[in-house]
Structure 1
Amino acid sequence: MGMEVENTNKKMQDLNEDDEKEKEYSDKELAQTLREVLKSVSLLGSEFENCTEHYSMLVQVFSKHTHINPEDEAALLVVSSRALSRAVSCIDVDHHDSLLFSIFGMSMWNYGVHVMDALIDLIKSLAASSGNYLILIRCLNMLVRNFKPPRSFLPLFSQPRGIAKKEQVLDRVHTALKDIAELRPLSLLWLNGIVVDSMPRMSFKNDTLNKIKVDLHLSEIYVENMLKLERGVLGRYVGKEILLAVVSRLVDLDVEIEWDEILQDDPSKGIFDMEIEDIDEAADYDDHGEEFPKAGFGLQKLGADVFAERLDSLMVLTCEHIKARADEGHLIEVFETLLQSFEDPILKTHKSKFAQFVIFYACSLDPEKCGVRFAVMLADTFVCGGVSPTTRMSVVAYLASYLSRARFLPSSLVASMLKRLVDWCYEYICKVQDIEERNIDPHVHRVFYSGCQAVMYVLCYWMRMMVDVPHLKSLLLDMPLEPIFRNFLDPLKVCLPSIVTEFLRQAKAARLFTVSENFFFNDLLESDLSKIYGGIERLDTFFPFDPCLLKNCDRIIGPHFLYWSMVKKTYDGDDGSCDEDVNEGERFIDGNSESFYDGEKNLDELDLELELEVFENSMHSNMSITPRRPLKHMMPARIRPSTSPEL
């Protein structure tokens, strides 16, 4: 054994002698020499690993401890990597740990394309040839770790050379992951967990602002690579967990944004007449050239918040990814994952501010399937129960806000969902009336009050359209609204005063039922019953699809979003009615009607109970605040100061 080691040392010494010896080695000969070096360490044992001179020299090549000029170092790395790729069968995890540690600790961001290519080939050879799964896992870890550049590279990403470098590295990393998966299919068992577990951690306690900015930027680059992986050929194997992790990251950033950083509420404003200054007066247009409102309110404050800026970027990145997946015909699969992410973590996050808009956007891309599915899921959760009262209150707030704000939903679906809410509220009243001891503690009946408030909120947006469509007007008049709102539980004195006031104002103009002047009250006054109903969490003030305050994300959401100033109210005009009937598939916008579906997509004028059944059957068969009035936009549903969330 000593003779073999001595011969190997001599060959390695020959490799490092000056050029004047004119001794050249072919790749094959160099690979053979490296095999002998590796075998010599294996024969001596791991405890002699660092005592073998030429093995130590090999380790130094990959650990950047050669102390030679960069050009020679790059050439040495290329030669050594190519030769070692042909000798990987001799690498043993037990005896060559220092060499593997040096290789797997390398960052491809530090090298040119030739070194990167040689390193990628070496990593793929290690992953494919070794029967030891520990080496395979370390190969995957090394590649995934290169999703994230060194901190020193971040300033370069604003320059063309930095962008080019990013593409060079990441294209090679993703190609290598795909190649390894083809060579070793079992690698997919670990890849998913490695990608999710390697996400940059979200912990900013005691960090400086500059460090927070850098960490958030690195996190965004990592998420970008996660979405690229989800969209690639490996997405069918790892996409679900990756997308769930991305949404969780959106929620993590969402909760870092404090409510008082969004806006300062004016005590003189009610929920339907809040006005916030818009910083962008330029009009935006949708794909059809139609102007739509901007919701740039509060952006001066949000723009200064580092978490809001980064969340805005990630939201845009995620929405663009969803759109790309939809264009490729994979929206349904993506939506199923988003629906799961909505249930956890979005719904479980107290008053999530922005993350929920990713599912709103997905619904807008396919209203007939995704849009209906989301509404039905929310309604089922509230009506059927089986979850905590707090969850039901949150769910119905999502449903009311979604039905009111989603510009893409057909009126027939909204009417169906509204009827389910009204029927549930009426059944609740009938049940409690049979109880001898009538408990009027608002906290006890908080789910009922949340349902009543949802009904009023939706009707504030939809009442005018429903009373002007004969089919829907008949349905509206048949709803037992008066028994629901006039009973011993007295929801009109418990729900948010501003919503009650707007609802009664429109109900009176529409002549839904007799509304006396005594039912109107100052919307700044909040009764003790109302405060008890909302409780500590004040979910009664939560309208999750209020206009998005993230500037760039709002540009994506805006064309699909309904603003309060766009809604025609029953009291607008002489008598609160319209002389012309409109199709059921149309919704009043600023005095005009906007069709949500073209002639081929409009739903038939069926009985609404049958329509809901059609919606659900179709679903199962296809799928296993706003700016100031001078700028033409007003925001209705934003938190009033007296009911603002606890900080």
Structure 2
Amino acid sequence: MEADLAAKTEEESLLGMHTLVQTALDYKVKGNPTTYNVILSKLQNTSEDEERRQIFLVLPRSISVLTKDLDAYYELIHRIYTFDFMTSQPIIDAYIRLITHFVTAHTTFLQPTIHMLVRNFLRVARPQKAAAPAPPSIASSTLNRRMSIPAVPAVSEAQLEAEFEESLQRRFASVHVAFAKVLDLVPTSIHHVFPCLCDHFPHKRIETPFQLSYLNNLFKLTTYAKGLQERVVGLVVEKLVSIDVEIKLDATEEDVFTMDDFLDDECCIDPEHPSAALDEMADKLDHLMLATFSYLESELATSTHLFSYLLKSFDQSILNTHRSKYPQFLIFYVAKHSIDHQEHFLSQLISVSLDAKVPPVTRLSCSSYLASYVARAKYLSITAIKHTLFHLLRHIHNQVDILEQSGDVPDKCLVDIIQTACYIACFRGLELCSTETGYNFVRSLGWHRVLTCSLQPMRQPVFHASVASEFLNAAELLGLVSEDSLESLLEGMKPAKNLERSAGTPTCFFPFDPYLLRRSFRFIGPQYLYWKHADPNWSGNSEAFALAQSHMKTYDEDETTTVDGEDENASMASSSYASLPGSYIRSSISEMSVVGSYPGSEDLNEPLQHQFQTPQPAVQKPTLYYHDEEEIGF
């Protein structure tokens, strides 16, 4: 009975409000805006909640009137679309009902509805705490009386912040409910969303909480609007890069093998005990990277195309960004979850690094990423590492063949590619040499011929001194280069003979150098290989090194019984190679990321034996064979 009475009263109230709204709209077009202005005042956030709710509930009945003359009712429509979801739930429910009627009734309302919803993804500042009321004055005659004034319980700042954060999350949840309904009722509205997301993205200088709230709302949006995921991922990566380039690192160049020690330094910021010296942009990026990693972690199981979206963003936003520091670790993290992803990423990096048709700056960047990724990704299989080194060394030997005939190197990026191979060997050489087959593979790659050719790669300005030094150290320990050649190469590394090199050497950059953002570090640390764990001289690697030495001894003993015509340093372009039943597949992500299948690959599970071959004509270049459809794994 009481419920029926309440419903009747509600209907009567709504009928009265409907009459008022209709009258206001009618009088407005006739030149009398008095009642119309009353309606506008009732739509203000400071007005009575019940009246606002009733107006929202009755306005759908007047849509036909509003659409007849939108210009006349501009103020009313504008007031409707300045709505803030930071209000009571009954008003929110009435408002969602209103906008869903609007977007289904007339397409004119679609664009402002999308803009309004995206605007409500933005965090608002917490209202200032009202000043405490002054204590009541006490008459002098009462001073001698014993008085008991109840104390007002104080509310802590932390409690106020927690309450405000809770209300913000309720606001965002309501916005997503409204957004999902609009997209469900008008599926084509999704085409209007992405430009709005770009327009409202907070500037990189805006404070971290505002950036973080918007980012999390974008990620939430993609969970029910899958058609936006690719573009949202690309937008987020682009914004992360824009913040990353603002981070200032120590201008002093660290040795690329000893910079890992920096992680144990006191100057590496602990997020729980920040110092005044903390770079604001680095701290902001740390928060945003943490949110992005968390999103990727939650979506990997259900989103089959997420890696492809990231790879496309890598091509467009990260690859050619000068000294990008952290956003590239997103693809480092995602790739670990699938061998197919690892193969695909390596395929793209190898093919672009070795493709003479690609601009040199892009090739050099890919070469740096390839070196750093294979060196640092602990999760890569031995087969993947072998395959990478084989294709690099095959290309290098082909170029050396041409060099020996013509005296000129057709590949202007050859020295950088040699450095890439050496860098990988420094980090993964000991691991490869842990088995006899692996050791035989590393020895068979022809390092002596590459390093002692007329190009003299280690004496070139672009070859980093620390990479050369560490590789020669590993080569000596693992027997990759003869003692005489080592002495000659080390002599060439002396500072007295490299003044020009020292003055002109550009700062070496390996993009997967140690990850220093501590909040988000947990996503990278467990899968990251530090130099200490790869260094043959580290005491913790004594057993692995002893095992490698035993394989070296066996190899040297077997070598003494080989036929005189065989030579481990013969060109890898030799036709004596058996065909490897596998090739790198073509990347479908980017036109420039075409992966060649290199003929003449060998069985990586067998020891490699090389024979000298009649050199190719100087004008002949190695041929790349491309496969559009065939997919053959590692």
- Give the structure-2-normalised TM-score: 0.74
CA contact (8 A) 1:302 1:309 kept: no
Q: How many residues align?
A: 519
Alignment pair present for 1:559 and 2:526 = yes
Secondary structure of the structure 1 residue equivalent to 2:524: helix
Secondary structure of the structure 2 residue equivalent to 1:80: helix
Match of residue 578, structure 1, among 527, 535, 547: 547
- 2:74 corresponds in structure 1 to 97
Q: 1:280 to 1:411 in 2, by over 3 A?
A: farther
CA contact (8 A) 2:24 2:39 kept: no
- In structure 2, C-alpha distance between the alignment counterparts of 1:434 and 1:482, rounded to whole Å: 18
- In structure 2, C-alpha distance between the alignment counterparts of 1:23 and 1:564, rounded to whole Å: 73
Measured after TM superposition, the shift of residue 528 of structure 1 is 5.1
- In structure 1, C-alpha distance between the alignment counterparts of 2:496 and 2:513, rounded to whole Å: 23
Measured after TM superposition, the shift of residue 161 of structure 1 is 1.3
- 2:288 corresponds in structure 1 to 314
Q: 1:401 to 1:153 in 2, by over 3 A?
A: farther
Q: CA RMSD in A?
A: 3.5
Match of residue 240, structure 2, among 243, 250, 259: 250
CA contact (8 A) 1:181 1:188 kept: yes
CA contact (8 A) 1:279 1:296 kept: no
Secondary structure of the structure 1 residue equivalent to 2:324: coil
83-92 vs 445-454, which moves further: 83-92
- In structure 1, C-alpha distance between the alignment counterparts of 2:494 and 2:96, rounded to whole Å: 66
Match of residue 59, structure 1, among 40, 49, 64: 40
Query: Cα deviation per residue 1:216-246 (whole Å; 9 max; x = unaligned)?
Result: 431221111111111x2212x1111111101
- In structure 2, C-alpha distance between the alignment counterparts of 1:54 and 1:200, rounded to whole Å: 39
1:161-200 equivalences in 2 (<5 Å): 161-200=163-202
Measured after TM superposition, the shift of residue 114 of structure 1 is 2.5
Letter of the aligned partner of 2:217 in structure 1?
N
- 2:441 corresponds in structure 1 to 475
Alignment pair present for 1:74 and 2:49 = yes
Q: 1:38 to 1:574 in 2, by over 3 A?
A: closer
Alignment pair present for 1:610 and 2:550 = no
CA contact (8 A) 1:303 1:309 kept: no
CA contact (8 A) 1:498 1:524 kept: no
Letter of the aligned partner of 1:508 in structure 2?
E
Secondary structure of the structure 2 residue equivalent to 1:276: helix
Match of residue 536, structure 2, among 565, 569, 572: 569
- In structure 2, C-alpha distance between the alignment counterparts of 1:76 and 1:550, rounded to whole Å: 50
- 1:362 corresponds in structure 2 to 334
Measured after TM superposition, the shift of residue 466 of structure 1 is 2.0
- 1:84 corresponds in structure 2 to 59
- 2:300 corresponds in structure 1 to 326
- In structure 1, C-alpha distance between the alignment counterparts of 2:72 and 2:97, rounded to whole Å: 22
CA contact (8 A) 2:290 2:520 kept: yes
Measured after TM superposition, the shift of residue 322 of structure 1 is 0.7
Measured after TM superposition, the shift of residue 554 of structure 1 is 1.2
- 2:514 corresponds in structure 1 to 547
Secondary structure of the structure 2 residue equivalent to 1:256: coil
- In structure 2, C-alpha distance between the alignment counterparts of 1:525 and 1:62, rounded to whole Å: 80
CA contact (8 A) 1:35 1:87 kept: yes
Query: Cα deviation per residue 1:127-156 (whole Å; 9 max; x = unaligned)?
Result: 222x2x332100110011000122336998
- 1:465 corresponds in structure 2 to 431
- In structure 2, C-alpha distance between the alignment counterparts of 1:425 and 1:487, rounded to whole Å: 11
Q: 1:446 to 1:302 in 2, by over 3 A?
A: farther
Q: 1:295 to 1:36 in 2, by over 3 A?
A: closer
Identity across the alignment (%): 22
- In structure 1, C-alpha distance between the alignment counterparts of 2:100 and 2:299, rounded to whole Å: 29
Alignment pair present for 1:276 and 2:262 = yes
Q: 1:431 to 1:407 in 2, by over 3 A?
A: same
- 1:340 corresponds in structure 2 to 312
Letter of the aligned partner of 1:520 in structure 2?
L
Measured after TM superposition, the shift of residue 609 of structure 1 is 6.3
CA contact (8 A) 1:32 1:87 kept: no
CA contact (8 A) 1:270 1:523 kept: no
1:6-25 equivalences in 2 (<5 Å): 25=12
Measured after TM superposition, the shift of residue 158 of structure 1 is 7.9
Secondary structure of the structure 1 residue equivalent to 2:454: coil
- 2:566 corresponds in structure 1 to none
- In structure 1, C-alpha distance between the alignment counterparts of 2:390 and 2:585, rounded to whole Å: 15
CA contact (8 A) 1:296 1:549 kept: no
- 1:238 corresponds in structure 2 to 228
Query: Cα deviation per residue 1:360-402 (whole Å; 9 max; x = unaligned)?
Result: 0101122x11122111111111112432111111111101100
Alignment pair present for 1:435 and 2:406 = yes
- In structure 2, C-alpha distance between the alignment counterparts of 1:174 and 1:278, rounded to whole Å: 43
CA contact (8 A) 1:452 1:491 kept: yes
1:478-497 equivalences in 2 (<5 Å): 478-494=444-460, 495-497=463-465
Secondary structure of the structure 1 residue equivalent to 2:520: helix
Alignment pair present for 1:122 and 2:98 = yes
Measured after TM superposition, the shift of residue 264 of structure 1 is 4.8
Letter of the aligned partner of 2:199 in structure 1?
D
Measured after TM superposition, the shift of residue 337 of structure 1 is 0.6
CA contact (8 A) 1:510 1:570 kept: no
- Give the structure-1-normalised TM-score: 0.73
Q: 1:450 to 1:618 in 2, by over 3 A?
A: closer
Alignment pair present for 1:222 and 2:214 = yes
- In structure 2, C-alpha distance between the alignment counterparts of 1:23 and 1:120, rounded to whole Å: 19
- In structure 1, C-alpha distance between the alignment counterparts of 2:111 and 2:80, rounded to whole Å: 14
CA contact (8 A) 2:121 2:214 kept: yes
1:106-145 equivalences in 2 (<5 Å): 106-109=83-86, 111-129=87-105, 131=106, 133-145=107-119
CA contact (8 A) 2:287 2:519 kept: yes
Alignment pair present for 1:31 and 2:12 = no
Alignment pair present for 1:450 and 2:416 = yes
Q: 1:396 to 1:277 in 2, by over 3 A?
A: closer
- In structure 1, C-alpha distance between the alignment counterparts of 2:159 and 2:118, rounded to whole Å: 19
- In structure 2, C-alpha distance between the alignment counterparts of 1:525 and 1:122, rounded to whole Å: 80
Q: Which structure is richer in relative contact order (CA contacts within 8 A, separation 6 or more)?
A: 1
1:633-644 equivalences in 2 (<5 Å): none
- In structure 2, C-alpha distance between the alignment counterparts of 1:23 and 1:570, rounded to whole Å: 83
Query: Cα deviation per residue 1:417-470 (whole Å; 9 max; x = unaligned)?
Result: 11111111122222233335x58xxxx975111101111100001112222322
Measured after TM superposition, the shift of residue 617 of structure 1 is 9.2
- In structure 1, C-alpha distance between the alignment counterparts of 2:287 and 2:83, rounded to whole Å: 29
Letter of the aligned partner of 2:181 in structure 1?
D
Whose Rg is larger?
2
Q: 1:326 to 1:581 in 2, by over 3 A?
A: farther
- In structure 2, C-alpha distance between the alignment counterparts of 1:300 and 1:578, rounded to whole Å: 44
Structure 2: segments with no counterpart, 5+ residues: 1-8, 129-156, 552-576, 590-634
Query: Cα deviation per residue 1:266-292 (whole Å; 9 max; x = unaligned)?
Result: 6xx6744763262689xxxxxxxxxxx
Measured after TM superposition, the shift of residue 95 of structure 1 is 2.1
Query: Cα deviation per residue 1:573-612 (whole Å; 9 max; x = unaligned)?
Result: 4994407999xxxxxxxxxxxxxxxxxxxxxxxx996364
- 1:643 corresponds in structure 2 to none
- In structure 2, C-alpha distance between the alignment counterparts of 1:306 and 1:99, rounded to whole Å: 42
1:146-157 equivalences in 2 (<5 Å): 146-152=120-126
- 2:472 corresponds in structure 1 to 504
CA contact (8 A) 1:461 1:569 kept: no
Q: 1:608 to 1:405 in 2, by over 3 A?
A: farther
- In structure 1, C-alpha distance between the alignment counterparts of 2:497 and 2:244, rounded to whole Å: 29
415-424 vs 144-153, which moves further: 144-153
Measured after TM superposition, the shift of residue 265 of structure 1 is 4.9
Letter of the aligned partner of 1:114 in structure 2?
P
- 1:14 corresponds in structure 2 to none
